[in-house]
Amino acid sequence: MQVAATRKIVVLGTGGTIAGTSSVAGANVGYTAGQIGVQQLLAAVPALAQASPCNLEAEQIAQIDSKDMDFSVWARLAGRCAQHLADPLVAGIVITHGTDTLEETAWLLRELLAASRPVVLTCAMRPATALVPDGPQNLLDAVTLAAEPSACGVLMVAAGVVHGARAVSKVHPLRLDAFASGDEGSLGWVEAGRVRWAHGRAPAVTAPRHAALLPGLATAAWPRVEIVHSHAGADGCVVDWLVDKGVRGIVVAATGNGTLHRALEAALARAVAAGVAVRAASRCPEGRMLAIEGAPWRDAEGLSPVKARISLMLELMDGA
């Protein structure tokens, strides 16, 4: 008789406040992120055993404060996700991550991974040693979401709310419900161990634009792409300096619907003439810029400046 192999959920640890500790008992600030191993995080939540019929497998990818996220951790994480997704026994992946750059990692993975099964990022706003930490519930919700048969694609869950990689951003430095998806809205909720999708249906998976980069990502040279803001008194000096330093791309965080200080606009035109790729993203936290007829650069297709920077780096790596 053949025994069916048990499916598994892989939990990849990268650090963050969810793995943070403080020497001051119960403190919510002034802690050190990325201290507790992912195996220990799982062991602290006995209810995980009931959250899914799958086995849980833990793997430590990194142990950092996500404010210090770098290309080598990104490459390692994306590579391991791709390997696990290629394993038919893997029902889903959970990634424990710091809140600070979670939206960037989520977008990177969305651009790289063909995720026909869920890849769920989660985090915490309070360290594991807090009086009432939020990490254990978020981890439980993430495993519930990763085990949900209708779920797919790169998702994140925190404070019971499910967000998609494109729209999510951290909007608050302290409160537990620190993430929002602007006017696109959240994708659903995890409530008492069940997933409830907004509008009654799971979101469809979107094909990644840069999957071809995955095999060479670990050794790839990431092109320098910087973000420059348009603001009162922006004189464009920083753009000229970046061009001088060999920048390959610039994302300009423009005012409103892509408007720019005229001095900055002139400097960006000089950058384009020097062969630098420029994209305009709105610095408004909500809404989506409309394309501007005749603009000398493309807009960021509704991405925030930090996500537009990731897409432009990948685009330049892809030689697109």
Which residues bind to ligand ASP, rule: CB under 6 A?
A: 16-17, 33, 65-67, 98-100, 123, 125
- The smaller minimum CB distance to ligand ASP, of residues 99 and 144, is found at 99
Which of helix, strand or coil describes residue 216? helix
At 277, is the secondary structure helix, strand, or coil? strand
- Rounded to whole angstroms, how far apart are CA atoms 184 and 237? 35
Q: Distances from the Cα of 318 to the Cαs of 30, 275, 298, in angstroms?
A: 41, 16, 17
Nearer to ligand ASP, 154 or 195 (CB): 154
CB of 21 to ligand ASP, least distance (A): 12
How far apart are alpha carbons 20 and 66 in whole angstroms?
Answer: 11
Provide the 3-class DSSP secondary structure of residue 212: helix
How far is 110 from 122, CA to CA, in rounded Å? 15
Minimum separation from the CB atom of position 66 to ligand ASP (A): 3
Angle at 7 between CA 40 and CA 5, to 5 degrees: 120
Taking the least distance from each CB to ligand ASP, the nearer of 30 and 294 is 30
CB of 223 to ligand ASP, least distance (A): 24
- Active site (annotated) includes residue 21: no
Q: How far is the CB of 148 from ligand ASP (least distance, A)?
A: 24
Between 100 and 299, whose beta carbon lies closer to ligand ASP? 100
Burial (CB count within 10 angstroms: exposed 0-12, middle 13-18, buried 19+), residue 37: middle
Q: Which member of 17, 96, 101, 122 is catalytic?
A: 17
* Residue numbers annotated as active site: 17
